[in-house]
Structures are given as C-alpha cells and as structure tokens.
Amino acid sequence: MHITQLNRECLLHLFSFLDKNSRKNLAKTCHKLLEVFQDPLLWSLLNFHSPVELKKDNFLLGPALKYLSICWYSERVKVCNIEDWMKNSFQRDFCNRHENTVSDFLLDVCNRCPNLLSLTLSGCGHVTDDCILLLLQNCPKLRTLKLENCVRITDQTLQAVTLHGGSLQTLHVDFCRNITRAGLEGLREKCPSVLLRAERSANMIPDSQPEKKLTLEKASRKLVQL
C-alpha cells in the first residue's frame, strides 16, 4: 500500500510525528502530501531552538497555532545578555545579525495567530516590553506566558499583563534581571489569580546605564572626600 493511498486523517497523524524539516521534505514528493503539510490542523504546536529556525520555510503560521516555544540555550546567548552599552564592536556585529529576528516573528504571530494559548521565550535577549504588549493585545486568549532570561523585559511587561492579560493564568519571568520586586508586588496585588513565578529576577543586578553609573561614582567620591 502506497502512503498516498492513506486517508487525510491517517496522513495528518503520520506527519505529526515528524519534525519540521522532515515534514517539508516529505511534502515535496507529491501534491497530496503538500496539501497535508499545508493543513492548519498540523500546526497547532511549534517549537524552535534558535533564531535561525524562525527564518526557515518549513512551517505554517495561522489561527490554528495554540502553543509556541522559542528556546535558545546556546552559549552565544550570553553575548546577547550583555548590556548594550557594554558590548564591544564584535559583540554588536553578532547581535545585529539577529536582533530583530524574534521580535519580527512575534509580530507575525500577533497578526496571524489570534488563538494562541501558550508562549514560552527563553534566551531571547532582544525581545522588548513593546513586543510583549502587542502580543497580549492581539492574542486575547493567551493563558500561559513564560519568559526566561529575557534581559530587556522590565516591569512594563508586568503592567501590560494587568491591562491586557485578562485570560492569563500563568506568568513566569525567571532570570529577567530588569524585573523589580516592586513590579512583582504590584502585579500580585492587581492580578491575584495569576500564578506568578519569578525565580531570581528581583534578586539579580539590573542593567545600569552609563549616566546613572557615573552619577553613582560621583556621589561615592563626594562621600569619600567628606
């Protein structure tokens, strides 16, 4: 029995066991399998392991997407986590190659995936509060938002949750160094039903802008002189 003799339901089930590249390669073999590849029912869950994967044409974005995960655990994540004003030219060049990759992808999700239920971002050092705000506004069914080691996320994201996270049930902001204890307490007060986890976030050293650092150094010198 040839694979193309199977009905649509069986083919969708077989495709569900394949990774994105394998699905794409199989879809190239005939028109019927291409139609299965393009079936929205196949794309309710997407997992990515680096920003590079977001640029590949081996998946389908649409209203069927409910679960999305972008987790980057490479050693190169450390470069993105360095404060922008502390990066050398090599580090800036490296970040420039993919600085907007995840954000642009999430904007596409905002426009095409209104039924998203769960989003996990880990090691996405260039994602900003504005991006999360747009996502909360355009994906009103979002129930779970997990942010880990996203260094540009601040208390503004927590404020956005209080305003636009009406369906949110779970929020993780682990190892996000610019989240403050005051911001977390404000969220707990306004959204007591949200299951909140913030491992290490409020206990980490936040980014310090050069002008702020200079002001602190001047104040320290004055104290020493006195």
Give the range of the structural domain holding residue 11, as residue numbers without chain letter. 1-42
pLDDT exceeds cutoff 60 at 221: no
pLDDT at 226 over 50: no
DSSP 115: T
pLDDT score of 48: 96
Q: What is the number of structural domains in the chain?
A: 2
Q: Per-residue pLDDT tens for 9-21?
A: 999 999 999 999 9
Same domain, 21 and 67: no
Residue 86 lies in a domain: yes
Q: What Rg do the C-alpha atoms of the chain give, in angstroms?
A: 21
Q: How confident is the model at residue 223 (pLDDT cuts 50, 70, 90)?
A: very low
Tell me if 84 sits within 8 A of 128, measured CB to CB: no
Q: What is the pLDDT of residue 224?
A: 46
Phi, psi of 178 (to 5 degrees): -100, 15
- Looking at the structure, tell me whether residues 178 and 66 fall in a common domain: yes
Q: Is the pLDDT of residue 37 over 80?
A: yes
Q: Are 95 and 79 in contact (CB under 8 A)?
A: yes
Residue at 218 is within a domain: no
- Residues 175 and 64 occupy one common structural domain: yes
User: In this structure, are 80 and 166 located in the same domain?
Assistant: yes
Whole-model pTM? Answer: 0.85
Spell out the SS3 assignment of 5-26. Answer: HCCHHHHHHHHCCCCHHHHHHH
- φ/ψ (deg, to 5) at 28: -75, -10
**Nearest CA-CA partner of 50 in 70, 36, 66:** 70
